[in-house]
Amino acid sequence: MTNRVVHFRIYRYDPDKDEKPYMQEISVEIEPTDKKLLQALVKVKAKDDSLAFRRSCREGVCGSDAMNINGKNGLACLTDLDSLEQPIVLRPLPGLPVIRDLIVDMTQFFKQYHSITPYLINNDPPPERERLQSPQDREELNGLYECILCACCSTSCPSFWWNPDKFVGPAGLLAAYRFIADTRDQATNERLDNLNDPYRLFRCHTIMNCVDVCPKHLNPTKAIGKIKDLMVSRMV
């Protein structure tokens, strides 16, 4: 196995020195053990230390290195280099303000996450031991709790692009349903009230980009559908 060269076109913008963003063409030599996009990006950074991107766990569980890769949102650490056409075009996640290069300002994204009261609410005095939950009830949380808050989904959603301040977005709604679905949580009604709004929940038009890009194979659209069902069944 020999080294090979990978070609990139990368969105660059440093407000400290650039008047406007530009696309940088850069190529790097990678080793046979470099299988993932993130590994190649680390090589790019060794060549040009001014390229800024977030990264941490490099195994798809921390959610740091979400970016737009050849037009589709994904995690650099889970994306196979072999699956990508070259030059690999990298842009910051769409729809959020760019701070620098591939780093976006995620304030709005986390604001929406925080808006759904993202913690378990149970006002009974805590028992001495664990609250019991059957394995079947626990299974209801599968596909919900695994979210890594990478924002691939919300920033691929046209409804979130148009109304990031009003529409909770797929990640926040998935989290909302995670608590609604938890048998230990006692605030389902308040949670539904919180979302019963033309924008917060109902801006989801089941475009399903979120499902398409989720690196953890979660299905926010399905969770949103379940919240909508609960809204309806609560009314009748």
Partner 1 sequence: MNVETYTFDAVIVGAGGAGLRAALQLAEAGLRTAVLTKVFPTRSHTVAAQGGVAASLGNSTPDHWHWHMYDTVKGSDWLGDQDAIEFMCRKANEVVIELEHYGMPFDRTDEGKIYQRPFGGHSMNYGEAPVMRSCAAADRTGHAMLHALYQRNVRARTQFFVEWMALDLIRDQDGDVLGVTAMEMETGKVAIFHAKATIFATGGAGRIYYSSTNAFINTGDGLGMAARAGIPLEDMEFWQFHPTGVAGAGVLITEGVRGEGGILRNCNGERFMERYAPNLKDLASRDVVSRAMVTEINEGRGCGPNKDYVLLDITHLPPETILKRLPGIREIAIQFAGVDPINEPIPVVPTVHYQMGGIPTNYKGQVVVPKGDDLEVPVVGFYAAGECACASVHGANRLGTNSLLDLLVFGKASGETVIEDIQSGNLRLKPLPKDAADLSLARINRLNTATSGETVADVLLDMQRTMQKHAGVFRFAHLLKEGVARILQVEERVKHTFINDKSMVWNTARIEALELENMIEVAKATMISAEARKESRGAHVRDDCPDTPEFPNGRNDKEWLKHTLWYREGNRLTYKPVHLKPLHPDTQPIALAKRTY
| Distance of closest approach, residue 179 Cβ to partner 1, in angstroms | 8
What is the C-alpha separation between 126 and 129, in angstroms, rounded?
8
Residues 6+ apart with CB under 8 A from 78: 36, 59, 60, 215
Instruction: Name which of 81 and 207 has its Cβ closer to partner 1.
Output: 81
Mapping DSSP to helix (H, G, I), strand (E, B) and coil, where does residue 181 land? coil
| Distance of closest approach, residue 199 Cβ to partner 1, in angstroms | 22
Query: In three state form, how does the secondary structure of 6-58 look?
Result: EEEEEEECCCCCCCCCEEEEEEEEECCCCCEHHHHHHHHHHHCCCCCCCCCCC
Long-range pairs of 23-29 with CB within 8 A, sequence gap ≥ 24: 23/89, 24/48, 24/51, 25/87, 29/3, 29/4, 29/5
Q: Does 110 bind partner 1 (CB under 8 A)?
A: yes
Q: Does 219 bind partner 1 (CB under 8 A)?
A: no
- What H or E segment, with its residue span, contains residue 113? helix 107-114
Q: Hey, which residues between 58 and 97 contact partner 1 (CB under 8 A)?
A: 58-64, 78
Instruction: Name which of 159 and 195 has its Cβ closer to partner 1.
Output: 195
| Distance of closest approach, residue 112 Cβ to partner 1, in angstroms | 13
Q: Does 198 bind partner 1 (CB under 8 A)?
A: no
Instruction: Name which of 13 and 167 has its Cβ closer to partner 1.
Output: 13
Cα-only R_g, the chain: 20
Per-residue contact string for residues 153-192; x = within reach of partner 1 by CB under 8 A: --------------------------x--x-xx-------
Stretch near partner 1 under the rule CB under 8 A, chosen from 125-133, 156-164, 205-213, 223-231: 125-133
| Distance of closest approach, residue 208 Cβ to partner 1, in angstroms | 22
What is the C-alpha separation between 71 and 95, in angstroms, rounded?
13
Amino acid identity of residue 42, one-letter, is V
| Distance of closest approach, residue 187 Cβ to partner 1, in angstroms | 12
Residues 6+ apart with CB under 8 A from 136: none
Instruction: Name which of 114 and 205 has its Cβ closer to partner 1.
Output: 114
Residues at the interface with partner 1 (CB under 8 A): 14-17, 33, 35, 45-46, 48-64, 78, 99-101, 103, 106, 110, 114, 118-120, 122, 126, 128-135, 137-138, 141, 145-146, 148-149, 179, 182, 184-185
